[in-house]
Amino acid sequence: MVKLIVARHAESEWNPIGRYQGLLDPDLTERGKEQAKLLAKALSGMGIEKIFSSPLKRTLKTAEEVAKYLGLEVIADDRIREIDHGSWSGLLVEEVKERFPEEFETWLREPHRAKFEGGESLKDVYERVSDFLTWLRDTHGGKTVLLVSHTVPIRCMYCFLLGVDLSRFWSFGCDNASYSLVIMEEDRNVIQQLNITCHLGDLYVEAHRAL
């Protein structure tokens, strides 16, 4: 059994304006830096023994805040990095809607069919996060582990953990600096808490529905 805490990075500079980030690397906002501190405090009593993070700046800085609070190190792993948005990277949601109207509708309505030009598909991300989670279950039995990642890999993780189709990708909330608690067992996985944000108080900001 692995006790798994899954956290999304705190607010980045591009989150409030609705710009697709993908593998591009904006920093945290001032609000995001405060959110990361609140997340660290909220997770401080959960017995975390190991911290993994996407290697991108917004996730690493969030993870490092938790690590500093707990006296741990952060291990970066490419398997839980954000999806490569390809030609959408760096564009605002409104720009994507204008330039790629059919692809945008597919992304919102049939995400399992989406493939970003010059980037990845949802299936690509699903395969790498499922590989990571399987490895984690097999190598970290009895441990409490924190993962700090992004909206797309996190939602793909939930689909894998629950054995549901990628068409249900948008069914899971995933706000900035939120966390979820998952118990991974040999024969089943249980999501005990999902998208917890109460620790953020007035610093909570709802995630953009297309991001």
DSSP of 101-155: HHHHHHHHH-GGG-B-TTS-BHHHHHHHHHHHHHHHHHH-TT-EEEEEE-HHHHH
**Residue 208 appears among annotated catalytic residues:** no
Strands 179-184 and 2-8: antiparallel
- What is the rounded CA–CA span in Å between residue 152 and residue 164? 15
**Residue 9 appears among annotated catalytic residues:** yes
- Catalytic residue, from 112, 140, 150, 208: name it: 150
- Catalytic residue, from 9, 85, 112, 208: name it: 9
- What is the rounded CA–CA span in Å between residue 28 and residue 186? 37
Q: What is the CA radius of gyration of the chain?
A: 16
Question: 122 near 156, Cβ under 8 Å?
Answer: yes
Residue whose C-alpha is closest to residue 130's, from 189, 58, 65? 189
Residues assigned a catalytic role: 9, 150
